[in-house]
């Protein structure tokens, strides 16, 4: 059989974005996903303002607006001893938004289908095909039984448990950051505004993303050892754990948990490289650090944007053996944000420091806006490392 130009494994934001962008360049693209859409995805569901630029390049912004997403105009953070500060997405072209991933991902998949991508749901990729040391397709199983799909380029967009990245020996669990998350949906939540919330404390943190005036996604992240306390009863564990963030727990007292909470972990995974001969990794399959700054969806879309010129040039020239230009582009685009994420992890893990930083940011709204703008992906992350920023924070 003639090989396809591109097979994309995974139909989350990274996969649909890659498929649409490559299709827009005239390539023949097939996308395989093991799920049937709409499918659930455990996520904080707050999407940063920068996502709109990327969605519009995909021709998907109207479809997303049609989902009636809740606008997020900034973030409020509460420290372990209850000091709160809010940062605005000042200077962003548009507000960020929160929407259920079940709806968002299904809408993006539909945009890909309309763009001419062949979508095959309920097809699970089980292995990679290799020829002369280069990835030449995938083995999969689904409606047609077990089959091989040959392709000149394989894009691994199959998330944190990526088969593509693992078969290439590129993805492994993070050595020190061992966390898990539990997410629940609530109706009747008091005090929701047009902003995301992050409550630090209890050895972790809990994020709140409003999905409507009184409905919210409430998801927390804790060290993996704590998971043993669940003893198989996730709902009870989830409800009990929320007591670690008392100001939030109070606002949930009269609210209703809408469905059984879902847990996932380990969260942090690192990829040694994000390309191999004949293959590229995008989105979480290229590594995932921690959801604290909530940039996963935007980064998934952005990684597809960064992969595009490399993939397009390689497909045109037929030289698919060396795609390392994508490694370099991704590293350059993400290194400062990842550095900041590591710094924030250390701050969050040290309650006295988290309190001190929160107190200072409460007094300096401009610095809080800058930090929240960086989290929102429209302010360059390197500005957090300016000496001036550190100096202003120390003097605040």
Ligand X SMILES: Cc1cc2nc3c(=O)[nH]c(=O)nc-3n(C[C@H](O)[C@H](O)[C@H](O)COP(=O)(O)OP(=O)(O)OC[C@H]3O[C@@H](n4cnc5c(N)ncnc54)[C@H](O)[C@@H]3O)c2cc1C
Q: Which residues in this chain contact ligand X in the complex, by CB under 6 A?
A: 9-15, 32-35, 41-47, 124-125, 157-159, 163, 181, 209, 219, 264, 267, 283-284, 288, 291, 294-298, 300
Beta carbons within 10 angstroms of residue 393's beta carbon: 18
Task: Name the β-bridge partners of 222.
Answer: 180
Q: In this complex, which beta carbon is closest to ligand X, that of residue 28 or of residue 33? A: 33
Longest dimension (CA), the chain: 67
> Which stretches of the chain are DSSP H helices?
13-24, 51-58, 61-65, 101-114, 163-167, 234-241, 246-252, 296-317, 324-348, 351-363, 365-375, 387-395
Q: In this complex, which beta carbon is closest to ligand X, that of residue 219 or of residue 310? A: 219
Q: In this complex, which beta carbon is closest to ligand X, that of residue 14 or of residue 279? A: 14
Per-residue exposure over 92-127, b if at least 16 CB sit within 10 Å of its own CB, e if not: bebbbbbbbbebbbbbbbebbbebebebbbebbbee
What's the min distance (Å) between Cβ of 351 and ligand X?
Answer: 21
What's the min distance (Å) between Cβ of 363 and ligand X?
Answer: 27
In contact, 138 and 125? CB cutoff 8 Å:
yes
Q: In this complex, which beta carbon is closest to ligand X, that of residue 32 or of residue 308? A: 32
Instruction: Fill in the DSSP letter of residue 179.
Output: E
Q: How far apart are CA 117 and CA 396, in angstroms?
A: 52
Which run of H or of E encompasses 155?
strand 145-156
Per-residue exposure over 336-360, b if at least 16 CB sit within 10 Å of its own CB, e if not: bbbebbeebbebbeebeebbebbeb
What's the min distance (Å) between Cβ of 4 and ligand X?
Answer: 15
SS3 334: helix
Q: In this complex, which beta carbon is closest to ligand X, that of residue 269 or of residue 358? A: 269
What's the min distance (Å) between Cβ of 288 and ligand X?
Answer: 6
Q: In this complex, which beta carbon is closest to ligand X, that of residue 296 or of residue 393? A: 296
What's the min distance (Å) between Cβ of 55 and ligand X?
Answer: 12
What's the min distance (Å) between Cβ of 17 and ligand X?
Answer: 8
Both tokens of residue 382?
């390197």
Q: In this complex, which beta carbon is closest to ligand X, that of residue 128 or of residue 393? A: 128
Q: Are strands 84-88 and 74-78 parallel, antiparallel or unpaired?
A: antiparallel
Q: Per-residue DSSP letters for 343-394?
A: HHHHHHTSHHHHHHHHHHHHH-HHHHHHHHHHHTTSS-GGGGG-HHHHHHHH
Task: Name the β-bridge partners of 128.
Answer: 138
Q: In this complex, which beta carbon is closest to ligand X, that of residue 57 or of residue 264? A: 264
What's the min distance (Å) between Cβ of 278 and ligand X?
Answer: 18
Q: In this complex, which beta carbon is closest to ligand X, that of residue 136 or of residue 285? A: 285
């Amino acid at each position: 059989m003639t090989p396809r130009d591109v097979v994309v494994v995974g139909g989350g934001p990274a996969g649909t974005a890659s498929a649409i962008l490559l299709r827009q360049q005239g390539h023949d693209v097939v996308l395989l996903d093991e799920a049937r859409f709409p499918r659930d995805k455990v996520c904080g569901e707050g999407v940063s303002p920068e996502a709109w630029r990327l969605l519009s390049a995909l021709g998907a912004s109207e479809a997303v607006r049609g989902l009636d997403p809740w606008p997020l105009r900034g973030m409020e953070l509460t420290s372990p001893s209850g000091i709160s500060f809010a940062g605005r997405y000042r200077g962003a072209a548009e507000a960020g938004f929160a929407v259920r991933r079940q709806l968002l991902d299904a809408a993006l998949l539909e945009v890909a289908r309309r763009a001419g991508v062949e979508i095959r749901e309920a097809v699970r990729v089980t292995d990679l095909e290799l020829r002369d040391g280069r990835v030449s397709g995938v083995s999969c199983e689904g409606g047609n039984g077990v089959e091989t799909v040959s392709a000149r380029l394989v894009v691994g967009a199959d998330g944190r448990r990526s088969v593509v990245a693992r078969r290439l020996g590129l993805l492994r669990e993070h050595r020190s950051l061992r966390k898990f998350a539990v997410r629940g949906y609530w109706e009747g939540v008091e005090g929701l505004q047009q902003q995301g919330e992050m409550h630090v404390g209890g050895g972790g943190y809990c994020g709140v993303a409003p999905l409507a005036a009184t409905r919210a996604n409430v998801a927390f992240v804790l060290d993996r050892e704590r998971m043993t306390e669940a003893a198989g009863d996730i709902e009870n564990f989830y409800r009990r754990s929320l007591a670690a963030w008392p100001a939030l727990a109070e606002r949930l007292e009269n609210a209703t948990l809408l469905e059984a909470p879902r847990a996932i972990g380990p969260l942090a995974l690192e990829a040694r490289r994000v390309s191999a001969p004949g293959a590229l990794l995008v989105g979480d399959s290229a590594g995932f650090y921690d959801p604290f700054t909530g940039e996963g969806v935007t980064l998934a879309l952005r990684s597809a944007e960064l992969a595009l010129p490399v993939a397009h040039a390689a497909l045109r020239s037929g030289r698919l053996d060396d795609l390392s230009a994508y490694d370099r582009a991704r590293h350059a685009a993400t290194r400062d944000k990842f550095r900041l994420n590591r710094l924030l992890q250390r701050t969050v893990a040290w309650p006295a420091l988290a309190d001190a930083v929160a107190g200072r940011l409460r007094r300096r709204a401009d610095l809080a806006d800058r930090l929240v703008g960086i989290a929102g992906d429209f302010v360059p992350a390197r500005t957090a490392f300016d000496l001036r920023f550190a100096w202003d924070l120390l003097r605040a």
